[in-house]
């Protein structure tokens, strides 16, 4: 009941959040796309896990300490915790903006509401810090500002949870595709032209095939990042590049060579069937580290 109320409230923000999100998306693309490996770092490609959520706990913990130290009138401790909170908040925001660049549709709208609440939160905390640094005798104003900032951050954190847990943004699209299989399955294609992505089916699986000489490489068709169709992508430097946000997966291993994905792509072995066609065997589930 309460969750439904909050969901409706968030949805109602699309009036301003949609155009703002589209503007931010264009702006962030212009900033981050040329940065390549910096953006990959901020996305968490090196970690095999999104970096943003791993960083968000630090500012929230620090802001909670600020409240505690304010109550105990430990002024210096409160100010130090506030500085650390603001700095870690800025770092988490940077990683969050890298992820935000590659959102679309409803996740982008809700992420815009999240980012707005978090931005207002950090601005409120910066004003609180500025007032504190003036060393006022009466600290009521900066304390009230900190409490307002805390409310904004908690609301922003709730909305951030919606982006991931309700809308599945930055969730591995193959999270429930466990392990390798032991059974070879027939592919529904016979002709695989050299160097061109080909969409194929094997039972319930949809794959993208790329033939390189005598070797046929096969990865799952659905991009681990946000579900883009890899068979509509391009082959670049031994990788398939997703047409939606540009993630690259190594054709021979499924390894993530370029973000925004932080996950690998499930990989399949391909061989000639006795009947003359082709058949595949899944050999990896995707995700994990560098092979």
Name the residues that contact ligand FES, by CB under 6 A: 102, 223, 225-228, 242, 244-247, 260-261
For ligand FES, the closer of residues 150 and 244 by Cβ is 244
Residue 53 or 229: the one with the smaller Cβ distance to ligand FES is 229
Nearest to ligand FES of 171, 273 (CB atom): 171
- Nearest residue (CB) to ligand FES, 26 versus 272: 26
Rounded least distance, CB 173 to ligand FES, Å: 8
What 233-239 contacts at long range (C-beta under 8 Å, 24+ apart), as own/partner pairs, is 233/197, 233/208, 234/197, 235/195, 235/196, 235/197, 235/210, 238/212
Q: Is 209 left (phi over 0), alpha (psi -120 to 50) or beta?
A: beta
DSSP string, 171-202: --TTTT--S--S--EE-S-S---BTS-EEEEE
| Least distance between ligand FES and beta carbon 248 (Å) | 9
The answer to whether 53 and 59 have CB atoms below 8 angstroms apart is no
Closest by CA position to 265, among listed 245, 241, 243? 241
To ligand FES, the closest distance from the beta carbon of 255 in angstroms equals: 15
Q: Smaller CB distance to ligand FES: residue 93 or 226?
A: 226
State the minimum distance, in angstroms, from the CB of residue 221 to ligand FES. 11
Residues in the chain: 291
Q: Minimum CB separation from ligand FES for residue 106, in Å?
A: 15
Strand pairing partners for 216? 211
In the Cβ-directed half-sphere of 19, how many Cα atoms lie within 13 Å? 2
């Amino acid at each position: 009941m309460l969750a439904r109320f909050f969901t409706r409230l968030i949805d109602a923000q699309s009036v301003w959040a949609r155009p703002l999100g589209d503007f931010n998306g264009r702006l962030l693309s212009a900033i981050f796309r040329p940065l390549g490996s910096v953006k990959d770092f901020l996305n968490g490609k090196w970690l095999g896990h999104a970096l943003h959520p791993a960083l968000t706990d630090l500012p929230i913990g620090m802001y909670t300490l600020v409240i505690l130290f304010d109550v105990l009138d430990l002024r210096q401790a409160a100010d130090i915790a506030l500085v650390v909170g603001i700095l870690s908040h800025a770092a988490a925001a940077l990683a969050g903006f890298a992820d935000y660049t590659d959102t679309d549709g409803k996740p982008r709208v809700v992420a815009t509401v999240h980012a707005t609440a978090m931005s207002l939160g950090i601005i409120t905390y910066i004003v609180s810090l500025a007032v504190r640094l003036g060393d006022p005798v009466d600290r009521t104003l900066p304390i009230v500002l900190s409490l307002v900032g805390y409310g904004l951050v908690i609301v922003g954190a709730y909305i951030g949870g919606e982006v991931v847990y309700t809308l599945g943004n930055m969730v591995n699209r193959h999270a429930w595709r466990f392990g390798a299989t032991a059974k070879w399955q027939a592919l529904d294609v016979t002709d695989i032209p050299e160097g061109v992505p080909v969409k194929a089916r094997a039972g319930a699986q949809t794959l993208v095939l790329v033939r390189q000489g005598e070797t046929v490489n096969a990865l799952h068709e659905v991009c681990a990042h946000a579900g883009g169709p890899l068979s509509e992508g391009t082959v670049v430097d031994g990788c398939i590049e997703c047409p939606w946000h540009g993630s690259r997966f190594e054709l021979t291993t499924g390894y993530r060579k370029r973000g925004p994905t932080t996950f690998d792509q499930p990989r399949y072995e391909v061989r000639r069937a006795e009947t003359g066609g082709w058949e595949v065997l899944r050999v990896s589930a995707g995700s994990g580290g560098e092979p």
